[in-house]
Structure 1
Amino acid sequence: METAKILVQGIVQGVGFRPNVYRIAIKHDINGYVRNLGNVVEIIAQSHDYNDIEKFISEIEVKKPPVSIINSIEYSFFESNASFSEFKILESSNSFSGTSVIPPDIAVCENCLKEMRNPKDRRFNHPFIACTDCGPRFTLIDSIPYDRNRTSMDEFPLCNECMEEYTNPLDRRYHAEASCCNTCGPSLQLLNKDGVDISFKHTNLIKKAGELLNESNILAIKGIGGTHLVSKVSDDDTVSILRKRLTRENQAFACMVKDIESALEFCEINSYENEALIAKERPIVVLKKNSNYNLSKEVSPLLHNIGVILPYSPIHHLLFDYINDPALIMTSANIPGEPMMIDNKDIVNNLSKIADYFLLHNRKIINRCDDSVIRFVDDKASFIRRSRGYAPAPYNLNEYDKFKSILHKNHNILALGPELDLTFTILKNKMAYVSQHIGNTNKFKTYEFLQDAIKHLMKITSTNSFDLVACDLHPQFFSTQLAKEISNKFQADLIPVQHHHAHGAVLAVDNNIDELIVIAADGVGYGDDGTAWGGEILYSDIESYERMASLLPQKLPGGDLSTKYPVRVMTSLLYSKFEKNELKDILNKHYIDYFKHGAMEIDLVFKQMESNLNTAITTSAGRVLDSISVALGVCHERTYEGEASMKLESFAYRSNNDKLKIAPEFIEIDGLLRLDTSQILYDTLDLVKRGENKKDIAKAAQDSVAIGLAKMALIAANKKDVNVVGATGGVFYNEAISKKVKETVERDGFKFVSHRNSCAGDGSVSLGQAIVASFKL
């Protein structure tokens, strides 16, 4: 009798993996068992024929469940005294620690939707329908192994009929931990703005919620990973009221549509975007508005695009049965800068002045998880936020050539990211587990969320300690302070990593390359010279970096105040290009309304420029684009992150003029080549003075920044004899800039790379920190 022990690692829990193994074993006349061992699936396979076991192992990998991911299958044959007469699925054990992880939450599947729509099915209109192929995972798991008694579903004992399915290996709901029905599952509750339960007045709470939305009410609806604020999209007044209550003046709202056909009524959708919209992960996809766009102008003001998402929970699907509008605003319910709300009492108490009604349920959300956001740039997916649907599925770093020789199974690394748009990463056993979106750790509740999320991810990855803790180079970030505390707690070395180096490391790993020239363009990243970088050309071999060029260093009069009021940055960029009185005349004549305190503030800004009092130094590409935006009258105040630059992109998008040019110019300072951004802004104003169309000027100015960055990168590539140039940082969510850089790089015969399965923005900085830190072991 031949016997083999098989260990399978990857996303193999909560995805129907064990019943799938059971069915394959029966097919091949294999006896033995399969069970979860903490973070790995163990299989004992016994047969008279060695070849049957080999075929069995091969089919496990080839015919795995659609949601599962197998990172490795290790097996060995051994002499066994035991003889098995059948194949069984055994109860889970936690006696082994491997590298699997709980799968992310995914959209409700077609089979469940068919059952939910069938009046003869016992799960007809069930708002929590799920099976092994779909539904919540990460948001309801408390600990491993992934069994119902370790999830928030433990509070809902299965009825007899559900238990029969749950214990039948041939059933689609075998050990589907989120499975339930109208008899034994969670229940909905409808409350008014005073928190009074009015559920008893209505037989169908979702229908009533739809009616309330049609009547222009704002609802807080608790979902899978958190709560959304929901309203209709057709009425300016309703959207304006939501903005006023949220104190969210201009930032675009994401919208949920019933189906692709509904989205096509107001958006352009190509095949790549279509595929992303209907994918099981169900991200928000940023789409271009079409010529028939008919939603309220308040939904996505002054932008040429809008975030769109399809229903992913049963509640969403049922809600659209009663909605008159083509779409619904579906935005995260949170106090600005704080985490999305998940606790019913908190939801009602904190949103009572925002929501008119609350549609809640009594299933606990253990791990809050915001919606993911993707934008396609030149037909390639670019993550703006990688969260629900993707996190915390790990990156297998052993797939990347450079790591095969340096990663060791017995070392654990924690990387804590930057400060805004933060995620953290746990790297162990050659797997990098990047957390869900955490947010802005300047806010205390978000900082608490970060600490809780670290503890929980440690728990479900069986991580008890760390050998290294990585953090941002900025000494004053709250994440840096937390990194120091954690490194002391575990007596682990602390590794500060320069912000743009981390960006570049992710870009390299994402494309499986050893070295490249990195164009890093964003708002800010603390430089190793103590200034604020943000328009950098770096050479990187992943392990280290060398600064090769940058944008021209500029002063930020008033420090962070300049990021809120970009006319201050514009003044700084023009300071060296005009005589003092001439520049003051320009500002007083054309931009006086952009200064909060008028002429007095203009004088103050000049004094700050002269004295360097409260004046930081930056090479930020984001601040340059903000300056161009204010110079053209597009946006003069930032009410949300990236506002001025995003509105500039949308303004320039409407230009078809390829003839108007602003040639980039370069100067050398302190041995580094610098793009003269002051000259670009000067030329921008000159074109305005000549009466050129401002949309055409916006396009020319954006192109000049892009071409300037690309040319400096090409000079660096030739100097370092490197044939790959990559782009990273939040500026590269701008499609026009990305395309122009790519075009310029490839025209010279170099290879251009961008992010694939990671964020160009700060959401993947923690992954880059972990990657860089791994070389320090």
Structure 2
Amino acid sequence: MKIAKILVQGIVQGVGFRPSVYRIVNALGLKGYIRNLGNIVEIILFEDEKQVNDFIAILKEKKPAISKINSITVQWIDESRYFYPKNDTFEIVESSTDFSGASVIPPDLAICDNCLEEINDSKNRRYKYPFTTCIDCGIRFTVIENVPYDRDKTSMDDFPLCQKCEKEYTNPLDRRYHAESTCCETCGPSLKLYNHKENEINTINPLEKAVKLLDEGKILAMKGIGGTHLITKVRDNKPIKKLRKRLNRPNQPFAVMSRNLETAKTFTEVSSKEAKSLLSKERPIVILKKSKNYDFAESLAPELHNIGVMLCYSPLHHIMFDYTDEPAYIMTSANISGEPMMIKNKEILSSLYGIGDYYLLHNRRIINRCDDSVIRYRANELSFIRRSRGYTPEPYDLNDLIKTKKINKDLNILALGPEIDVTFTLQKQGLAYVSQHIGNTNKFKTYEFLQEAIKNMRNITKTENFDAIACDMHPQFFTSHLANEMGEKFNCEVIPIQHHHAHGAVLAMDNSLDELVFIAADGVGYGEDGSTWGGEIMYTNINNYERLASLSPQKMPGGDISTKYPVRMLESILSNSETYQGEELESLLSSNYSHYFQHRETEIKSVLKQINSNLNVGITTSTGRILDSIAVALNICGERTYEGECSMKLESFAYGANGDLKIEPQFKKINGRPILDTTQILVDIMKLISNKENKKEIAAAGQKVVSEGLAILAVDTASKMGINNIGATGGVFYNEAITLATKKYVESEGFNFVQHKNSCAGDGSVSLGQSLIASSKIN
């Protein structure tokens, strides 16, 4: 008798794959067995070739909706190595850890319609139970410790199943068959409510009581799926301002959670694509434009024309809104600035002391913390700002690069990302697993989180060793230091990657391109020359890159302090011009911008001396610094209290402008490299301000001249190189107006404009680019 050994790789664990196979096989009358094998699914069929091929064809058609098959391999083997199933049937047998494959569990997913119906049915035993889940929805990544993905390798192992849940769990025809997070009120996690003194509040329904406190204007810390949120009302300035003061977040916009799509449409503008994303199983935060009927407190998203909105994704959230008439609640990550979200109950109670008024906690352990994902549509084009919950740890398939021999499938690569908006990437067997959002590794707790998350990802991908560690070229980044430590630990090469080269490589991969010219526009990227890059025209074929044009190099007096107080950049840029020199520049700054300097006129003079003496002065071509300076010039924003604040407020200030003003880009050459003259842009803006032109129109013109200037440089470069594809990457391209202006010019010149599709334009995908480049260099 022939025996077929079928190995299936992909998202095939924790998605109901085995019961689906069980049903298909029984319908066909075949015999054999199925089991999880380490990080893959193994199917043994005691059948001939035609029956096996028929089975595979049906499996591809009828696989579970949330599963994903990357490959199916069939081997015909010696029957003596395998046991026969009982009574010539098909069995689901115990998992094994013998195989180290490249599959992985799916991400955490929003509650499905069936479970939602159960928690809303007063006759159902899971009525209003906030941890209801099944094979089609709920927690996965946040509770797993190791593979195979079985209950005893998750934090749900802390909750032995009751008799009723056990019956569902062991019935292959039930939708909770081997749904590892299966539970109910009898056997599953439970909620407890605490006050600010860490004393438990005695109440029959902790969630209902917590919502009542919210509606009284209190601030609630609520432990959820992948971490903890701080929650309060959206229409009352008082608790929002209190939350801002306690968190030391004076201006950072807060995201909100709304009860449903219909409600979200009452305060925002929602396109069909945005609606689809809001309702998707991933349930990201979607950045939406505020509508004319928007009536939330001004302090919620101050001076911005948009707001981050997500819909309920867990049963806990749905039930929470059953107890209130509020349209939405602020739902922001509970963390100390720059540190990771809190996941342990003791830490939540102690570290959030004085921040939350009350604490709603559950007793299920979170193994892998995971922040909410954030996306934005620009002219109906999707852009990932943060790719985390709902997407991690689903890997990128690198087969296209493997087929063209750009990278080697057999290499294990770990890439550690930059420093602030960090993710890491583990590349193995032609798949790239990009981590959840890690954050600012300048903070010790976040640095610890990075190392912990790497360990967990190695566990669930069965990765023991690495062939190379990739990191940013900046020698002082904590991630660079960690790369060197891990290079010694694993006895492998450490490969530093230029920041914008990594941006370009992932953009090329995302669009299946072998090469492209791209615009890299962001705040900070360490350049080969030791200066700060961030407004660059570059070429890449993934393996290599070339810097071909840029914005004007500008001095940064005091280095990073010029990013916090961008008026220092404005002073530096204007000092380069013939128009504003000496006393005239000092007079201008004293009259119009002294309130932005910490030490007023004294600092204006000292900064000018610093610029002239080149003492503690960095050099930058950053687009972010130019946009910040425009915001200062227009008195829109003079201090950065959160990442990208001044540029974001500039975009919102310019939103709705008619485009009546035009600033012409001007170009120079420095050492043979074409540059966009950003000093002249600021001089022209100052003249428009002096002429009392409409400031909204000036803001729009300022954004447009930067966009078109970069686009002109890119088109000229691509024309000379004979390349048709021009891409855009970097955090600046989250700005809709800049993206559209760049796109319009590039396409008007007959070139193909490419953007990120399934990766982040910002630093969240830099680690993926690093891993691609590293593997191409040792291919």
- Measure the CA separation in 1 of the matches of 2:149 and 2:126: 24
Contact 1:506 1:771 in 2 (8 A): yes
Instruction: Give the residue type in structure 1 aligned to 2:581.
Output: E
Give the structure 2 partner of residue 55 of structure 1: 54
Q: Is the partner of 1:375 in helix, strand or coil? A: strand
| Deviant stretches of 4+, over 6 Å | none
- Give the deviation of 1:343 after TM superposition: 0.3
Give the structure 1 partner of residue 595 of structure 2: 593
1:242-296 Cα offsets, whole Å, 9 max, x none, are: 1011110000000000001111111000011000000000100000001111001
- Give the deviation of 1:205 after TM superposition: 1.3
Give the structure 2 partner of residue 116 of structure 1: 119
Give the structure 2 partner of residue 41 of structure 1: 41
Instruction: Give the residue type in structure 2 aligned to 1:286.
Output: I
- Measure the CA separation in 2 of the matches of 1:94 and 1:409: 22
Give the structure 2 partner of residue 86 of structure 1: 89
Contact 1:340 1:368 in 2 (8 A): yes
Give the structure 2 partner of residue 67 of structure 1: 66
Give the structure 1 partner of residue 443 of structure 2: 443
- Give the deviation of 1:324 after TM superposition: 2.8
2:259 counterpart of 1:258: yes
Instruction: Give the residue type in structure 1 aligned to 2:641.
Output: T
Deviates more, 1:375-384 or 1:305-314: 375-384
Summarize the alignment of residues 382-531 of structure 1 with structure 2, pairs less than 5 Å apart.
382-398=383-399, 400-401=400-401, 404-531=404-531
- Give the deviation of 1:654 after TM superposition: 2.8
1:364-393 Cα offsets, whole Å, 9 max, x none, are: 000100000001112111111000100111
Give the structure 1 partner of residue 6 of structure 2: 6
Instruction: Give the residue type in structure 1 aligned to 2:498.
Output: Q
- Measure the CA separation in 2 of the matches of 1:403 and 1:635: 49
Give the structure 1 partner of residue 637 of structure 2: 635
Q: Is the partner of 1:534 in helix, strand or coil? A: strand
Pick closer, same or farther for the CA change 1:83–1:464 going to 2, 3 Å: closer
Q: Is the partner of 2:308 in helix, strand or coil? A: strand
Give the structure 2 partner of residue 190 of structure 1: 193
- Measure the CA separation in 2 of the matches of 1:620 and 1:401: 31
- Measure the CA separation in 1 of the matches of 2:92 and 2:22: 7
2:243 counterpart of 1:217: no
Give the structure 1 partner of residue 157 of structure 2: 154
- Give the deviation of 1:554 after TM superposition: 0.1
Instruction: Give the residue type in structure 2 aligned to 1:19.
Output: P
Give the structure 1 partner of residue 136 of structure 2: 133
Q: Is the partner of 1:451 in helix, strand or coil? A: helix
TM-score (normalised: structure 1)? 0.98
- Give the deviation of 1:485 after TM superposition: 0.2
| 5+ residue gaps, structure 1 | none
1:599-641 Cα offsets, whole Å, 9 max, x none, are: 1000011011101101100000000000000000100000000
- Measure the CA separation in 1 of the matches of 2:324 and 2:650: 34
- Measure the CA separation in 1 of the matches of 2:522 and 2:763: 9
Instruction: Give the residue type in structure 2 aligned to 1:650.
Output: S
TM-score (normalised: structure 2)? 0.98
- Measure the CA separation in 1 of the matches of 2:645 and 2:660: 27
Contact 1:402 1:514 in 2 (8 A): no
Contact 1:220 1:357 in 2 (8 A): yes
Contact 1:518 1:538 in 2 (8 A): yes
Contact 2:401 2:407 in 1 (8 A): no
Contact 2:410 2:430 in 1 (8 A): no
Q: Is the partner of 1:125 in helix, strand or coil? A: coil
2:652 counterpart of 1:650: yes
Question: Aligned to 1:174, which of 163, 177, 180?
Answer: 177
- Measure the CA separation in 2 of the matches of 1:544 and 1:28: 53
Q: Is the partner of 1:775 in helix, strand or coil? A: helix
- Measure the CA separation in 1 of the matches of 2:345 and 2:121: 31
Q: Is the partner of 1:487 in helix, strand or coil? A: helix
1:510-562 Cα offsets, whole Å, 9 max, x none, are: 00000000100000000011100000000111110000100000000111110
Q: Is the partner of 2:548 in helix, strand or coil? A: strand
Contact 1:595 1:602 in 2 (8 A): yes
- Give the deviation of 1:220 after TM superposition: 0.2
Give the structure 2 partner of residue 324 of structure 1: 325
- Give the deviation of 1:402 after TM superposition: 6.0
1:405-433 Cα offsets, whole Å, 9 max, x none, are: 24434321000000001000010101100
Q: Is the partner of 1:335 in helix, strand or coil? A: coil
- Measure the CA separation in 2 of the matches of 1:597 and 1:96: 65
2:106 counterpart of 1:107: no
| 5+ residue gaps, structure 2 | none
Give the structure 1 partner of residue 284 of structure 2: 283
Instruction: Give the residue type in structure 2 aligned to 1:568.
Output: R
Instruction: Give the residue type in structure 1 aligned to 2:453.
Output: A
Question: Aligned to 2:605, which of 603, 608, 612?
Answer: 603
- Measure the CA separation in 1 of the matches of 2:704 and 2:448: 42
Question: Aligned to 1:621, which of 620, 623, 627?
Answer: 623
Give the structure 1 partner of residue 692 of structure 2: 691
Contact 2:192 2:361 in 1 (8 A): yes
- Measure the CA separation in 1 of the matches of 2:404 and 2:345: 47
Question: Aligned to 1:584, which of 580, 583, 586?
Answer: 586
- Measure the CA separation in 1 of the matches of 2:505 and 2:646: 28
- Give the deviation of 1:775 after TM superposition: 1.0
2:27 counterpart of 1:30: no
Give the structure 1 partner of residue 744 of structure 2: 743
Q: Is the partner of 1:608 in helix, strand or coil? A: helix
Contact 2:13 2:149 in 1 (8 A): yes
- Give the deviation of 1:3 after TM superposition: 2.8
Q: Is the partner of 2:331 in helix, strand or coil? A: strand
2:526 counterpart of 1:552: no
Pick closer, same or farther for the CA change 1:234–1:129 going to 2, 3 Å: same
1:627-682 Cα offsets, whole Å, 9 max, x none, are: 00000010000000000000000000131x22310011000001100000111111
Contact 1:207 1:319 in 2 (8 A): yes
- Measure the CA separation in 1 of the matches of 2:301 and 2:403: 43
- Give the deviation of 1:403 after TM superposition: 5.2
Contact 1:213 1:323 in 2 (8 A): no
- Measure the CA separation in 2 of the matches of 1:115 and 1:512: 43
Contact 1:17 1:68 in 2 (8 A): yes
Contact 1:218 1:229 in 2 (8 A): yes
Give the structure 1 partner of residue 729 of structure 2: 728
Summarize the alignment of residues 350-365 of structure 1 with structure 2, pairs less than 5 Å apart.
350-365=351-366
Instruction: Give the residue type in structure 2 aligned to 1:37.
Output: L
Contact 2:408 2:775 in 1 (8 A): no
Contact 2:667 2:677 in 1 (8 A): yes
Pick closer, same or farther for the CA change 1:404–1:43 going to 2, 3 Å: farther
Instruction: Give the residue type in structure 2 aligned to 1:41.
Output: V
1:107-149 Cα offsets, whole Å, 9 max, x none, are: 1111001011111111111110000000000000011111000
CA RMSD in angstroms comes to 1.0
1:222-245 Cα offsets, whole Å, 9 max, x none, are: 000000000010101111111011
Give the structure 1 partner of residue 777 of structure 2: 776
- Measure the CA separation in 2 of the matches of 1:488 and 1:719: 44
Deviates more, 1:27-36 or 1:407-416: 407-416
Contact 2:402 2:408 in 1 (8 A): no
Instruction: Give the residue type in structure 2 aligned to 1:546.
Output: E
1:58-82 Cα offsets, whole Å, 9 max, x none, are: 1212211111111111113345356
- Give the deviation of 1:404 after TM superposition: 4.3
1:578-605 Cα offsets, whole Å, 9 max, x none, are: 2222111111111111111011000011
- Measure the CA separation in 2 of the matches of 1:744 and 1:402: 34
Give the structure 2 partner of residue 236 of structure 1: 237
Deviates more, 1:730-739 or 1:74-83: 74-83
Aligned residues: 772
- Give the deviation of 1:712 after TM superposition: 0.2
- Measure the CA separation in 2 of the matches of 1:277 and 1:425: 27
- Measure the CA separation in 1 of the matches of 2:755 and 2:428: 26
